[in-house]
Amino acid sequence: MKGSEVIMKMLEKHGVEVVFGHPGGTIMPVYDALYDSPIKHVLVRHEQGGTHMADAYFRASGKVGVVFATSGPGATNLVTGLATAHMDSSAVVAITGNVVRSLIGTDAFQEADVFGITGPVTKHNYLVKDVNDLPRILTEAFHIASTGRPGPVLVDVPKDVQQAEYDGPLEAEIDLPGYRPTLVGHARQIEKASEAIRAAKRPIMMVGGGGQVAPEEVAAFAHLTGIPVITTLMGIGAYPPGDQQFIGMPGMHGTVTANRAITHCDLILGAGLRFDDRVTGKISRFAPNATVVHIDIDPAEISKLVKAHVPVVGDLRDVLPRLQRLLSRLDIDEWRAQITEWKDRYPERYKTDKPLVSQEVLEMLREAAGDAIVTTEVGQHQMFAARLLPTKKPRSFITSGGLGTMGFGLPAAIGAAFARPGETVVCVAGDGSVQMNIQELATLSKHRLPVVIAILNNGVLGMVRQWQELFHAQRYSEIYLADSNPDFAKLAEAYGIEGHNVFDRDQARKLIPEAIAKGGPVLLNFVVYEAEKVWPMVPAGAGVDEMIIGDQEPEQEPEPVVTA
């Protein structure tokens, strides 16, 4: 068997059903072996798109996403996608071709030091120097990507290793003494956590991306104790947004209630999150009176930014039920009443005394496609979607949280559609971001996936515009897109995808349910108000207690606007 066949057989052994990729010179032997393989291959139009597809495939299904690329420019095109997956703990295995071993280090045609380049943006990476190592390395790659805190692993395979003969077994032992993720929480730490929670009068639970694997454990814990629940951007769907104990998203564009709860709580139970700076704001003003209990599978996250008074390293599926057994309903009615008062005072609000606004489009989408998987690009539309279109199900709100990668949403929608056949995917996009991987319309068109792309087209790089309006004296520098945007409906049609430009509310109300019902790809380009802002907003460097409430302020009895 050739090395390239070993690669395909190992993928089969790991249950891989679909690979996203793009061929080229040094990965031709693998593509030749693929020709005879039962594994489906999705030909992407840019390798970055392929990585986002593989990443979203994992996020939506929990199964490792796989991407192929050739050496040099093909492999370097993966970098943004790998960094995106790395930041958001997504299990991806990337397989790249490289120049033959004798040419490595000679500036050969299409040579790049992919091992060196991708080290900082992967959980682990390999350069395979001997065909006999392939079964072991691929076994390890899948193991490392998918266990503990998930992450991307890159395997770089020189062309002559792909062409070399191999006649050994495909089974390989995993022997990684330096890599043994802690899954079972320490009993004493769990006991300490229970003591702290029992003593709390104003506790909150904050659930991050780690909660996507443990929605039942999170719900059971919250319902038994009565603790109010915040989900971060990465935690959306890990707790049902309609639930009475739900208080929304925290941080820079979090809800007033979530940020107030953080400021006034006396205990935070952090579950599978990393206290990202967009969540904490200025650390010294973050939850100043709180005891912090932090459960995470990755010990490196404990006390990285926010000091954990009670750290528990382990898998939420182990720790939460054990913690729950030590607790009963908490005596926190006063605190819950305070939270309800904030929720009633600060419901989601926006003004419709202007042309179509993004928020109402999202509410129409929620009504028409409440159960859809949602992917987003990055910008104002992403924050509006997080607040107005949170999914009820886990693994269903798929967004680039840590890296904030414009160009993620459209390929992610394709990856999610492959991961969950039969489910509708809504891609919420901005007119800026969607153009960063717009070529993937071709991939979408070819596979006729049930993806509705909703472009909230404000004609500007809206999030940048918002910062320039608020913090740069309205000096709008290089944000205008409208004069050179394509006609998005015609563009979609050029790719063989149904497209509509939508200018008003009536048209939106009619076209959204029709598009969802189609069961195939549709692009809706909503022309929305340019100067809308995402409120509340915690200015960069300020504390979450210093948020500007903006339009979320009740019409009556306005509170003073507090700025940094």
Ligand X SMILES: Cc1ncc(C[n+]2csc(CCOP(=O)(O)OP(=O)(O)O)c2C)c(N)n1
The reply on whether position 377 binds ligand X by CB under 6 A is yes
The reply on whether position 84 binds ligand X by CB under 6 A is no
Span 378-397, contacts to ligand X by CB under 6 A? 378-381
CA-CA distances (angstroms) from residue 483 to 378, 431, 479, 486? 21, 12, 11, 9
Residue carrying the six token digits 């039962």: 38
The answer, yes or no, to whether the previous bond of 73 is cis (omega within 30 of 0) is no
State the Cα–Cα distance between residues 110 and 115, nearest whole angstrom.
14
Using the contact rule CB under 6 A, the part of the chain among 49-57, 85-93, 95-103, 430-438 near ligand X is 430-438
Read off the tokens for 410: 């459209």
Short-list 371, 429, 365, 414, CA closest to 396: 371
Read off the tokens for 185: 């929480």
Q: Total number of residues binding ligand X (CB under 6 A)?
A: 20
Q: Which of 71, 433, 468, 525 contacts ligand X by CB under 6 A? A: 433
The nearer residue to ligand X, 71 or 458, going by C-beta atoms, is: 458
Name, in order, each residue with C-beta under 8 angstroms of 209's C-beta and a sequence gap of 6 or more: 88, 89, 232, 234, 235, 272, 273, 401
The reply on whether position 463 binds ligand X by CB under 6 A is yes
The question of whether 159 is a catalytic residue gets the answer yes
Smallest gap, in angstroms, from Cβ of residue 472 to ligand X? Answer: 14
- For 379: left if phi > 0, alpha if psi spans -120 to 50, otherwise beta; the answer is left
The nearer residue to ligand X, 449 or 461, going by C-beta atoms, is: 461
The reply on whether position 245 binds ligand X by CB under 6 A is no
Q: Which of 18, 28, 39, 464 contacts ligand X by CB under 6 A? A: 464
Q: Which of 314, 432, 450, 536 contacts ligand X by CB under 6 A? A: 432
The reply on whether position 404 binds ligand X by CB under 6 A is yes
Smallest gap, in angstroms, from Cβ of residue 281 to ligand X? Answer: 18
Query: What is the CB neighbour count within 10 angstroms for residue 172?
Result: 18
The nearer residue to ligand X, 79 or 99, going by C-beta atoms, is: 79
Short-list 188, 91, 224, CA closest to 145: 91
Smallest gap, in angstroms, from Cβ of residue 405 to ligand X? Answer: 6
Smallest gap, in angstroms, from Cβ of residue 433 to ligand X? Answer: 3
Structural contact between residues 319 and 190, judged by C-beta atoms closer than 8 angstroms: yes
The question of whether 110 is a catalytic residue gets the answer yes
The question of whether 360 is a catalytic residue gets the answer no
Using the contact rule CB under 6 A, the part of the chain among 9-17, 108-116, 144-152, 453-461 near ligand X is 453-461
Q: Which residues make beta-bridge pairs with 523?
A: 453, 499
Smallest gap, in angstroms, from Cβ of residue 438 to ligand X? Answer: 12
Query: What is the CB neighbour count within 10 angstroms for residue 520?
Result: 15
The nearer residue to ligand X, 83 or 144, going by C-beta atoms, is: 83
> What residues act catalytically?
47, 109-110, 159, 463
Residue numbers of the site for ligand X (CB under 6 A)? 377-381, 404-407, 430-433, 456, 458, 460-464
